[in-house]
């Protein structure tokens, strides 16, 4: 029965369209010139065919030191599901690569390029594709952490929490989307409450805005469970874009379900982009996240 429910939900999600307005239809960031730090390997891979091609690429970088089973940190950019690109967070990829990780940044189809929630399907396929490269890339597939900001944090949580069957494509279906830890910064987690408190989302169709089932099944909060990966959630208490109820409701649901590997970091009077403006304040949480990913699974 559970599997049939997931199939029904998947069909509902894939059959719905999308609407964007002028504010949300920002588009893909211009391609950047990537300057690779000395001592690092850098390559761009395509995890699915799409138009535009850049929408479904991943950038990979690591230190070429002969170690074949490095821990992995995957970065997912933000931008309201409407703008951005993998190149936007390459500085973070290179930073972790210098520290002995394989750094990965993934693009996904924006809402001007494919209907929401195609982006969720994309990022889950990207993780399965990455795992298929074990042996070709120096990765340890049991030690994968995902960092996401804003819309990217929503996508990171959907990778780590939603059932493997949901949003699953035929490509690389032999691989799962299990990850070890997630860092979610300024994350939208609860579209049901968001609809109740703030009204319709402009890039949801009328059907999607009127369907609580749809909203539940694109909300990470709906998939909290006791065996979930560790989650480090960072949020500003004065975030005007992703209101505090998102992290508060998520925290309450974790407590209700007895989840003991969720840690919330509240940043008083900080707004939506605090993470990039308050590096010294967020660095301890980021280092704890890296350390957990790095630890060998027993």
Q: Does position 81 have pLDDT exceeding 90, yes or no?
A: yes
pLDDT of residue 279: 85
Q: How confident is the model at residue 297 (pLDDT cuts 50, 70, 90)?
A: confident
The answer to whether 231 and 182 are in contact (CB under 8 A) is yes
- Tokens describing residue 115: 């209907």
pLDDT of residue 196: 93
The DSSP annotation for 4-31 comes to HHHHHHHHHHHH--B---TTT--EEPPP
Q: How confident is the model at residue 296 (pLDDT cuts 50, 70, 90)?
A: confident
Q: How distant, in Å, are the alpha carbons of 24, 190, 193, 246, 297 from that of 198? A: 16, 12, 8, 12, 42
118-132 and 151-161 helices cross at what angle (nearest 10)? 60
Q: What is the dihedral of CA 227, 120, 57, 184, to 10 degrees?
A: -50
Q: Which of the residue ranges 4-18, 94-108, 138-152 would you say has the lowest mean pLDDT?
A: 4-18
191-198 and 245-256 helices cross at what angle (nearest 10)? 140
Mean pLDDT of 64-77: 96
Question: Which H or E run contains 183?
Answer: strand 181-185
Q: What is the mean pLDDT of the chain?
A: 90
pLDDT, tens digit, 9 for 90 and up, residues 157-202 = 999 999 999 999 999 999 999 999 999 999 999 999 999 999 988 8
pLDDT of residue 2: 40
Mean pLDDT of 82-99: 96
pLDDT, tens digit, 9 for 90 and up, residues 242-287 = 999 999 999 999 999 999 999 999 999 999 999 998 888 999 999 9
pLDDT of residue 298: 63
Predicted model pTM: 0.90
Between CA 236 and CA 216 the distance in angstroms is 24
């Amino acid at each position: 029965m559970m599997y049939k429910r997931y199939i029904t939900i998947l069909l509902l999600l894939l059959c719905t369209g999308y609407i964007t307005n002028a504010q949300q239809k920002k588009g893909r960031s211009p391609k950047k010139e990537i300057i690779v730090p000395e001592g690092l390997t850098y390559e761009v891979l395509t995890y699915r065919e799409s138009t535009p091609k850049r929408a479904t690429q991943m950038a990979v970088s690591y230190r070429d030191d002969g170690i074949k089973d490095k821990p992995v940190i995957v970065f997912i950019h933000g931008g309201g599901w409407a703008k951005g690109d993998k190149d936007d967070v390459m500085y973070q990829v290179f930073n972790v690569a210098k520290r002995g990780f394989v750094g990965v940044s993934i693009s996904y189809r924006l809402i001007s390029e494919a209907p929401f929630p195609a982006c969720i399907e994309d990022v889950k396929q990207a993780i399965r594709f990455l795992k298929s490269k074990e042996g070709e890339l120096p990765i340890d597939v049991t030690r994968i952490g995902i960092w996401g900001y804003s819309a990217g944090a929503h996508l990171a949580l959907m990778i780590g929490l939603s059932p493997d069957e949901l949003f699953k494509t035929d490509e690389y279906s032999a691989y799962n989307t299990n990850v070890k830890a997630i860092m979610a910064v300024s994350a939208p987690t609860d579209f049901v409450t968001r609809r109740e408190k703030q009204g319709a989302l402009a890039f949801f169709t009328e059907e999607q805005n009127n369907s609580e089932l749809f909203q539940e099944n694109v909300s990470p909060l709906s998939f909290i469970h006791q065996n979930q990966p560790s989650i480090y959630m960072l949020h500003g208490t004065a975030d005007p874009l992703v209101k505090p109820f998102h992290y508060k409701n998520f925290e309450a649901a974790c407590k209700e379900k007895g989840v003991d590997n969720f840690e919330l970091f509240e940043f008083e009077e900080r707004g939506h982009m605090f993470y990039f403006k308050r590096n010294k304040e967020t660095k301890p949480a980021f280092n704890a996240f890296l350390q957990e990913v790095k630890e060998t699974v027993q």
